[in-house]
Structures are given as C-alpha cells and as structure tokens.
Amino acid sequence: MFNVVLQTNSTSYYLLMLQAEKLISLLIIPWWELCVDGSHASHRP
C-alpha cells in the first residue's frame, strides 16, 4: 500500500517538476537573457 502511494507521489512530483521547468523556461530564462543583454549590450550584433 505504501509503495502505491509512494509511486503516485513520485509521479505527481515528476509532473510537477516538468511544469516547473516549463515555467522556468518561459519566465526566468527570458528575464535572465534580458538582464544579460542589458549588461552586455556591446555583444549584440
């Protein structure tokens, strides 16, 4: 019984991490690139 619950929690945790990774890619990475571009404007073509 505990194994079933543990597997369910692991699957939910895995799906949650996938969603978190998507949010990080959509929100944090563009923000980081914007900050990098702002601080290193001379590197832009």
Tell the residue number behind the tokens 């949650």, with chain if given: 16
Whether this prediction's pTM lies above 0.85 is answered by: no
The two tokens of residue 31 are: 């923000």
Asked which of 27-31, 35-39, 41-45 is least confident by mean pLDDT, the reply is 41-45
Query: Does residue 36 have a pLDDT over 70?
Result: yes
Average of per-residue pLDDT across 17-39? 81
Instruction: Please give the C-alpha separations between residue 23 and each of 3, 6, 8, 40, 41, in angstroms, as whole numbers.
Output: 30, 25, 23, 25, 26
What are the boundaries of each domain within the chain?
Answer: 2-35
Q: Please give the Cα distance from 4 to 26 (Å, whole number).
A: 33
